[in-house]
Amino acid sequence: MEWLVVVLEFIGQQILNVPAYLIGLITAIGLMALKRPSGKVIGGGLKAAMGFLILGAGAGVVTASLTPLGDLILSVTGAQGVIPTNEVITAIASEEYGATSAYVLVLGFLVMLVFARFTPLKYIFLTGHHMVFMALLLSVVLTVGFGEELSWLVVIVGALLLGVIMVVMPAFAQPWMKKITGDDTIAMGHFGTAGYIAAGAAGQITGRRSRSTEEIKFPQGLSFLRDSMVATALSMVLIYMVFAIWGLIAQPEQAMEILGGDDAGATIMAGFAQALQFGVGVAVILYGVRTVLGELVPAFQGIAEKVVPGARPALDIPIVFPYAPNGVLIGFLTSFAGGLVTLGVIAIWLNPALGLALILPGMVPHFFTGGGAGVFGNATGGRIGAAVGGFVNGVIITILPAVLLLVLGELGFSNSTFGDADFGWYGTLVGMSVMGPTGVGVLLSILLATVLVIAASVFQVRVVNRGWIPGAKRDAFLAEKEAAEA
């Protein structure tokens, strides 16, 4: 039977332990379960595996771009500078935690189906890249807490926590989604949901008489900011220029050595090139993510529809962008402003006092979550609500990633981190729960999952199902005003 041991070792070490092959196999199995033709199964599996390899290639480009910036920030400020970008930190972390997170992803999806089938939380989370991000985040924090030798326990607890968060957050956001979309057919499936709910609540408080953002006419000159690739590269150019100039003034020799310039002009242009390389790397990563998800999500979606018929699909944040395009732009700009203000607070107070890292504004999370916050804020508070909601979101996605870094172990020193609100609060809670003895960590994780499911179920039954609509008083006021003006 020695040959059988050799075969099993080969499968375990050379296939199931390689994230790209594992993702390809999972996709192929999902397509086979849906009885797709053999050509579709083989092609889908290979394409998903290649997409994962593309993601890794993009991570190399991004890491090479971030390293000089991190060294430069550390040189001139003495503090660690971090840019939250989910795709980047996922690509970096997947090399070590990719196999574990793949098992967490698959089992977590099955756990979500069980909760959707047997609790009031009838939601199917279909935003594949956020499933991947959250599975990897949970794998990292649980491995830091439990240790690498207990990877089987990391998979089991991680799957439970992933399945729970995927049905809980859509339920909490559903009243605002009903207000935005006008019906109850789709839900929010994005892990920036805590920021969206905060934006909706802030809008309801501050914009009680404010008109909708969609009555504003914006200049065409700002339309380029809606392209996330351009906005990402532009933000990095600004960040690189600030620290390159700062470095040339404070420590010219170190700045030129770090960026590789012979004089001030060459150093500036070297920083400019590194910033564009970051944009290129993010574009490659996004292409890899889309390639993986283009095959993986349909396989998961088909299975989910068969198990929980009639459940609401929880979709990615851009699903709400068409309902308030101007709100997206306002939310993006004010979220970025909130990130800058909070960065100043961290630099002046929280870094010296608590040692929190400097969270630099990452355009990808500010564009998508800030835009979404603008839509949620506009739904309950019009123009003021969109602006305040976006700002609140910017504060949240700057503070929470700084706190999250404290539970990420060695990964916290990779100059990037998870950027959206739910990654911050959920990852931090889970990480803190598993800091003590293993048994206590498991019990606290189960307790956290139980509390969330009970709270969301009560909210679903007593709030969502009874038809509560946030911002109803503002709607009535504006309707009366329009009637009086008519």
Mean pLDDT of 367-387: 93
Whether 311 contacts 116, CB under 8 Å: yes
> And the tokens for 454?
């009970």
Within 251-362, where are the H helices? 252-259, 264-307, 325-345, 351-354
In this prediction, residues 340-365 reach a mean pLDDT of 83
Contact in structure between 393 and 386 (CB atoms under 8 Å): no
pLDDT value at 250 more than 80: yes
- 123-125 sheet: strands from edge to edge: 123-125, 312-315, 187-188
- Is the predicted pLDDT of residue 226 greater than 70, yes or no? no
pLDDT at 413 over 60: no
Radius of gyration of the chain, Cα coordinates, nearest whole angstrom: 23
Tokens of 477: 């006021």
Neighbours of 269 (CB within 10 A): 13
Distances (CA, A) of 141 to 123, 367, 382, 410, 434: 26, 26, 39, 11, 8
Element (H, E) at 123: strand 123-125
Q: At 140, list the tokens.
A: 């990292």
Spatial contact of 370 and 340, defined as CB atoms under 8 Å apart: no
pLDDT score of 3: 79
Q: Quote the pLDDT of residue 30.
A: 78
What is the CA 162 to chain-centroid distance, rounded? Answer: 14
- Burial (CB < 10 A; 0-12, 13-18, 19+), residue 1, is exposed
Residue 194: its H or E element: helix 193-206
Q: Of the segments 91-105, 130-144, 228-242, which one has the largest average pLDDT value?
A: 130-144
Mean pLDDT score, 168-173:
97
- pLDDT grade, residue 223 (50/70/90)? low
User: What tokens does 194 get?
Assistant: 């805590």
Residues 6+ away with beta carbon under 8 Å from 206: 381, 384, 385, 388
As a whole number, mean pLDDT of residues 156-183 equals 95
Cα torsion 474, 478, 480, 484 to 10°: value is: 160
Residues 409 and 140: beta-carbon distance below 8 Å: yes
In this structure, the strands spanning 416-417 and 358-359 are unpaired
Compare 275 and 126 and report the one with higher pLDDT. Answer: 275
- Residue 189 pLDDT greater than 80, yes or no: yes
Mean pLDDT computed over 265-280: 89
Q: How high is the pLDDT of residue 146? A: 92
Helix (H/G/I), strand (E/B), else coil: 186:
coil
**Nearest Cα to Cα of residue 178 among 475, 481, 383:** 475
End-to-end distance of the chain based on CA atoms, in angstroms? Answer: 87
Q: How many C-beta atoms lie closer than 10 Å to residue 303's C-beta?
A: 17
Instruction: Please tell me the distance from the alpha carbon of residue 81 to that of residue 74, in angstroms, as a whole number.
Output: 7
Question: Is 358 strand, coil or helix?
Answer: strand
pLDDT tens for 108-165 read 989 999 999 999 999 988 787 888 889 989 998 999 899 988 999 999 999 999 999 9
Q: What is the rounded distance in angstroms from the CA atom of residue 424 to the CA atom of residue 414?
A: 16
* Of residues 321, 325, 372, 376, the one with CA closest to residue 220: 325
For the beta carbon of residue 465, count every other beta carbon within 10 angstroms. Answer: 12
CB 368 within 8 A of CB 423: no
pLDDT of res. 218: 66
Residue 175's closest CA among 457, 467, 386? 467
**pLDDT reported for residue 31:** 83
Percent share of the chain, pLDDT over 70? 92
Specify the pTM: 0.80
CB of 145 closer than 8 Å to CB of 434: yes
What's the pLDDT band for 447 if we cut at 50, 70, 90? very high
Between helix 363-404 and helix 325-345 the angle, nearest 10°, is 40
Q: 206 and 381 in contact (C-beta within 8 Å)? A: yes
